[in-house]
A and B are shown apart, each in its own frame.
Chain A
Amino acid sequence: MAATSPNAIALNGLGKKFRLTHDRNWTLKATVLAGHRVRYEEFWALRGLDLEIPHGSTFGIIGGNGSGKSTLLKVLAGILRPDEGTAKVDGRLSALLELGAGFHPELTGRENVYLNGAILGFTARDIRRRFDDIVGFAELDRFIDEPVRNYSSGMYVRLGFSVAIHVEPEILLVDEVLAVGDHSFQKRCLDRFAQLKSEGRTIVLVSHDLDMVGWLCEQTAWIQQGTLQAVGPSPEVIDRFLDGGTADSPPASETHRRFGGLGPDDLVRSVDLVDTNGHPMDRVGSGRPVRFRVRYDAGRADEPVTVALGLYRADGTHVASINSGAASRAVDNGDGLVDVEYEISALAVQPGTYELSVALHDHSMRKVMERHTHLVRFDVEPTAGDHQNGLVALGGTWSARSAGL
């Protein structure tokens, strides 16, 4: 079938509703007794959506949590059927909704590549031809014949991404998957996107990372509560989203400059620097103690949260990433606001301007609930008597004594 439409994706009055049954496990008996009418509420996750995404464009979709972005991607991917209107997709489509979703833990990486490829619509011959590329891109040559249950979550996700990206889709749907993997892998993913873009393929990216959407996508649509708020050139739409999305959040102080900003729908409520007594600070001395405090709404999180922090220099150099791992599990049962603190006895970085990124994951670190890049900016000040250069404040002490003749 030749491309007959100028649009890769055309939505016309698209609506998708979900049934919210009070008891999810409704049984045959209940249906029979209720006379074929099980009681449920209807909830429109998407309503009246008109959108055209031209062939060869790179298109961003932004919006707060629960705005319907992921539902839209699932409708486009064919996983969910629209209840109203139409969604026309013109071209071979591949969706990166969850990497490695089809992997079986007991099978080897090699077996899973063929399995996952087949699920994505590859023939065995297609995969044989691209197998080396797939494994090479994922950097798993040595482990490809190991069962994937022995893989780290990073390896798992790299392999999943690599298979999906080698399907050579005409339309690629990406849902927030770039938040995984280390820095160099993320960079190669972006390179690969740029390559697909230059080959004239259509990319639809759903992300909370406004920087990335702004950088990668020419056009962006902002969705709020299932309806289209704005669509147009990315910078304009992102600006409108930031104006609308952060209106209710507390004003940002001078030193805590917000880039992406926190919206009222976000789980993360605040990220602060505090001293050892818990008093907020806006600057910290090199080599001095500091705590990073992340406050989030555990009540609205679907599942227990692991907090990850990224420390960057203002020039973008990645200094360190940490996650709360087991420590955050102790307070999971709370359903209000939770403060997670990371205490550093001596902040071992050289003076300069630094930024903190924050992400909330599930415990397996496979799923990103929320990600705020460069959310907080702060200064690290020189400490008296310190004379050094470079990246790290080594924190050592000098001494000198005679070594004899």
Chain B
Amino acid sequence: MPLSRLPRSRRDLHALLQVDLLVNLTLRDLRSKYKRSALGWSWSVLNPLVAVVVYSAVFSVFLRIEPSVGDPSGLDSYAVFLLVTLLPWQFHVTSLTEATRAITANAPLVTKIYFPRWVLPTSSVLARFLTLLVEMAVLLVLIAVLQGHITFQWIPVLLALMLLQLLFTIGLALMISAVNVYFRDVQHFLGVALAPWMFLTPILYPLNMVPADKEFLGIGYRTLYQLNPMVSWAKAYRNVLYDLRFPSLERWLAIVAATGIVLAIGFRVFNRLEPRMAEEV
């Protein structure tokens, strides 16, 4: 971006980031989501609740997966162990699923009015992020009850982690929402890819259950496994909320690098595909 186009004042920045449009579209998303349903917002609580009950039954009771004991927290609860990674994962899934269709579903808008198109997938991710914030707040209370004291000092670290995940997800959402305008295969592919992606991320089991001594084509299973960027987030969330420990430096580096790369590619792909969107959508 040329220097002359960098924002010079708060108002410029406000306009560049389309703050008003983002706020309004995010509110539209949140307000209309549970309109005309009897249970309304209870649905957003029911979803993780059912998941925790079912996954706990299957993986903890039937398959007897032992959660790692929180070090140094001493926590030993499969439900909490699961929730600290499941909530961010569900944010990941719903964001991407909804953002994929963010442009195609708004075709009447895109073909009739000009506005920066990137706000559509971004606002749909933002709406899910607000939901995640609420869910995480509830989870913090739950952990505080189990721990017997509130772990305030971890909140800034958690927020930093969530913010990075938000940017990472926006980058992915920009990419797939733009490509989906041209190839509707993306939304179907996503439906297929998300389930295996979850099982290849340490959400239902601890990372140390992935064998470190076995190799595939000369590369260790564990190394291969960690190519998945979501592994870093899962591990970092578990460090902060379950172990109550600061994630390692390399973990942070991996997360920041993944975020930067995906965001940069996301914007590039989007800008490249934006000009013809109104014709192809």
Contact = CB atoms under 8 A, between A and B. Distances in A.
Given A118-B23, A121-B115, A124-B20, A28 B28 contact: no
B113 A97 contact: yes
A247 interface: no
A86 B90 CA distance: 46
Given A80-B279, A101-B109, A118 B20 contact: yes
Nearest to B111: A79
Contacts, number: 75
A114 interface: yes
Nearest to A123: B20
Given A98-B112, A119-B115, A106 B185 contact: no
Interface string B179-208: 000011100000000000000000000000
Nearest to A30: B183
Nearest to B274: A81
Contact of A106 (B32, B111, B112, B276): B32
B258 interface: no
Given A27-B183, A101-B108, A119-B109, 17 more contacts: A18-B279, A25-B184, A27-B185, A74-B111, A74-B278, A77-B113, A77-B114, A81-B275, A97-B113, A104-B28, A117-B24, A120-B115, A121-B115, A122-B20, A123-B14, A124-B23, A147-B35
B21 interface: yes
B25 interface: yes
Contacts of B8: none
Contacts of A244: none
Interface string B101-139: 000000011111111000000000000000000000000
A393 to B, nearest CB: 45
B36 interface: yes
B113 A119 contact: yes
Nearest to B183: A28
B31 interface: yes
26 contacts: A27-B185, A29-B185, A31-B183, A74-B278, A77-B113, A78-B114, A79-B112, A79-B114, A80-B279, A81-B276, A98-B112, A101-B108, A102-B113, A104-B28, A106-B32, A106-B35, A106-B36, A107-B31, A111-B27, A111-B31, A114-B24, A115-B28, A118-B21, A119-B115, A120-B115, A123-B14
A179 to B, nearest CB: 16
Interface of B: 14, 20-21, 23-25, 27-28, 31-32, 35-36, 108-115, 183-185, 275-276, 278-279
A25 B181 CA distance: 10
A28 B181 CA distance: 12
B112 A80 contact: no
Interface string A71-107: 0001001111100000000000001011001101011
Most buried by A among B20, B31, B113, B276: B113
A337 B35 CA distance: 44
A104 B36 CA distance: 14
B124 to A, nearest CB: 13
Contact of B113 (A95, A114, A123, A147): A95
Nearest to B186: A28
A111 B28 contact: yes
Nearest to A118: B24
Contact of A27 (B20, B109, B184): B184
Which has the most chain A C-beta neighbours within 10 Å: B23, B36, B114?
Answer: B114
Contacts of A114: 24
Chain A CB within 10 A, most for which of B21, B185, B275, B276: B21
Interface string A119-160: 111111000000000000000000000010000000000000
A119 B275 CA distance: 18
A147 B111 CA distance: 24
A400 to B, nearest CB: 62
Nearest to A21: B280
B206 to A, nearest CB: 37
Contacts of B32: 104, 106-107
A117 B24 CA distance: 9
A74 B278 CA distance: 10
A79 B281 CA distance: 12
Contacts of A101: 108-109, 112-113
A121 B21 CA distance: 8
A101 B109 CA distance: 6
